[in-house]
Structure 1
């Protein structure tokens, strides 16, 4: 019975952690990828034709449940309590240790994309931080110039040419898609997560979850000011995926193209004003 309870707890923690981590990354990049809130209404509400969202009615219900119920009444209050009582030095150390457990997966996923230098960097980080860094509590590797090269298997599939598939807003897990969901499942089977006892796995997931949500608290004003929170998150999500798979090498629009788009939006706004 205790094993069953432990497994259920791990599933819940990992699911909520994925939700918070993805929301954090989305809102961090929102200023660069989504139109500012003071832009014309049509700019903010523009739906990208590349966003495959056939399950939007269901996804919107799940978004409301995740953000208005799970986050508001569980995750956010717990996070605020954790931040209030935990010294920053301890928080940093625990997060370093949690991140260190991901380095073997980072190494494999980098190498599967042909990024062998980054893959060996992740191996070096794991070796240095697990020993000199006292099981990852101290990020000694970064001070040695070995920067973290985080990659997940979903990005590997993207580099291999696998499409994202439909957008999914999963209960507790949050924003996802078929490719990323497959990648998440594969990442769970990497060493050392497969050999660690449940308390360590759960502990690492809890720390990552709370730290991700703590960072998100500083960013959620962007979300709250958006006209449509669901579209805000969805668009940021897809643009983040494209950014990660291409390693930031996304083709930028020329000034002429941006000016032409702005003119189109202005014409559309004038048309709307004329029909009011």
Structure 2
């Protein structure tokens, strides 16, 4: 029930802004109309909801992030003692380990599942509920597997790209995966407000982590496309555990071969 409640509030937030963006005359809507009028049609099969996603991205980046997320992250990282920040973040991530164990097993990653089990047991006991990370002393990886990656392993595509206000870039597969991950113990038994605190800590740390990259977004020709492409590249990187296969564009290769033959 708690997982359903959390998801309900998340999607209620999304649907509310979807309604507002569609029913009111806003700067974001004007921006989409201007973009459509002054650029060629972009047929991106990954993003069939672009006309909706763009104003939601503008609202998220230009308003929610600028006036809420970034200032909150700056205050949190500036005034919270480093050892406390690290400990709270470790505790928040430690609660995801049981889900990671199951997701590794579903992908037949037995070694990774064993490491996740060891991390959870050791950090939850000696590490004081995950505040400390003694498992890292044994070089047990802290990389966690999500159910969305399980779906990807079995051939399920990302699905339509989504921009959820306050949550940033996502996709249908990732949202389904997050919902399933929330059904695992102990996330399923955490009350609503403690879970909000957990997600807030993770969100503040993730916002702080992209501080060095945000200038790339600002200076990009199209921040929306830049973030979208970066999102799918990251999902692909995670799906293949950091070793994505090289995709060869046969048409491009043929053009290069033809060009080289002209110089022979």
**Which of 1 and 2 has higher RCO (CA within 8 Å, sep 6+)?**
1
Aligned to 1:210: 204
Give the SS at the match of 1:206. helix
CA contact (8 A) 1:96 1:138 kept: yes
Query: Which of residues 219, 226, 232 is equivalent to 2:220?
Result: 226
**Alignment match of 2:46 (pick from 38, 44, 52):** 52
Indicate if the aligned counterparts of 2:91 and 2:129 stay in contact, CA closer than 8 A.
yes
Quote the offset at 1:168 in angstroms: 1.5
**Structure-1 separation of matches of 2:219 and 2:161:** 23
Q: 1:153 to 1:207 in 2, by over 3 A?
A: same
How many residues align structurally? Answer: 225
* Alignment check: 8 A CA contact 1:51 1:235 kept: no
Separation in structure 1 between the aligned mates of residue 59 and residue 9 of structure 2, nearest angstrom: 18
Cα shift at 1:145: 1.9
Q: What is the TM-score normalised by the length of structure 1?
A: 0.73
TM-score normalized by the length of structure 2: 0.76
Q: Does 1:130 align with 2:112?
A: no
Q: Identify the residue that residue 34 of structure 2 maps to in structure 1.
A: none
Shift of 1:202: 2.4
User: Alignment RMSD, CA only?
Assistant: 3.1
Q: What displacement does 1:91 show? A: 0.5
Determine the structure 2 residue equivalent to 1:39: none
Alignment check: 8 A CA contact 2:6 2:192 kept: no
Structure 2 residue 157 is the aligned partner of structure 1 residue 168: no
Given that 2:94 and 2:120 are in contact with CA atoms closer than 8 Å, whether structure 1 keeps it comes out as yes
Q: Is 1:101–2:95 an aligned residue pair?
A: yes
Structure 1 residues 48, 11: closer, same or farther in 2, change over 3 A? same
Distance in 1 separating the partners of 2:202 and 2:135: 19
Residue 50 (structure 1) shift: 6.9
Give the corresponding residue for 1:68.
62
- Contact 1:10–1:202 at 8 Å: present in 2 too? no
